[in-house]
Amino acid sequence: GVDSEEETEKNKDKEKVNTIIERQTQVLRSIWKRQLSCPHSGIKNTYAQYQVFEENLTDKQASTFKPQYLKSKRLIKQMEMFESELEELPKPCLFVCLFASPGCANTERYEEWNEYISTMRKFEDQKLSLVQNLFERALLDCYCYEQFWYVLLNYAQWLEEKNMKTELIELLEKSVRVFPHSSYLVCALIRAYEFNGTANTAMEKFFQRIAFPDQSKPTSNQV
């Protein structure tokens, strides 16, 4: 009787330990999965370390994440190609752009960014942050060229497609504050307000801030 009870308790303790180990193993696997699905320069070494991790376990599943690893590896190769081409192209110079004719736009850099972003958008399972980061880098790269407007409006359209309402409105409000004379940006902002369902109130407050930046409401002399 006593021996039987002790054996039962030992089995229960063993089951608890096995359950804890299994949970921890799954947590570690999920971490490896995230690392292997996100493109980075050391992904080959990461995959090798993951295989060693699996080899030390009884339930080997080293092949589980191989497709994700291969997809990330292909993605890295594509990204490296675009990054290399951008490095070789002449970088924008604000001084040159301020004193040059409007026709000086660096179309090569814009076209390269456009192709880069379009290629990355084809990977539908990629995190939004990857494409978002590329759009923002492109904006910084094209800010003193005519193509800036196209990048910005393409970025706004992408945010709308992803239902990222807050980011969309913040982007366009900031753009209209910097370039209030642009009818394209004003129209895009109005559309964003309508998309967010706050058109009337938001537009009134925002354009009031543009017209009267030093006070929340116009005085009787300004009306």
Q: What is the mean pLDDT of each run of 10 residues along the chain (223 residues)?
A: 72 83 82 71 77 70 62 79 85 52 62 87 69 84 74 87 87 81 82 77 66 53 44
Residues contacting residue 54 through CB under 8 Å, at least 6 positions apart: 60, 61, 62
CB contact at 8 A, 112 and 86: yes
What is the CB neighbour count within 10 angstroms for residue 50?
A: 22
* Predicted TM-score (pTM) of this structure: 0.58
pLDDT at 98: 44
CA-based Rg of the chain, rounded to a whole angstrom? 27
- Report the alpha-carbon angle 158-106-133, nearest 5: 30
**Residues 6 or more apart in contact with residue 130 via CB below 8 angstroms:** 39, 120
Q: What is the pLDDT of residue 102?
A: 46
Looking at residue 59, its pLDDT comes to: 56
Q: Please give the pLDDT value at position 125.
A: 57
Tell me how far CA of residue 188 lies from CA of 14, 154, 156, 172, 206, in angstroms: 63, 11, 8, 7, 14
Q: CA-to-CA distance for 141 and 95, rounded, in angstroms? A: 14
Amino acid residing at 188:
A
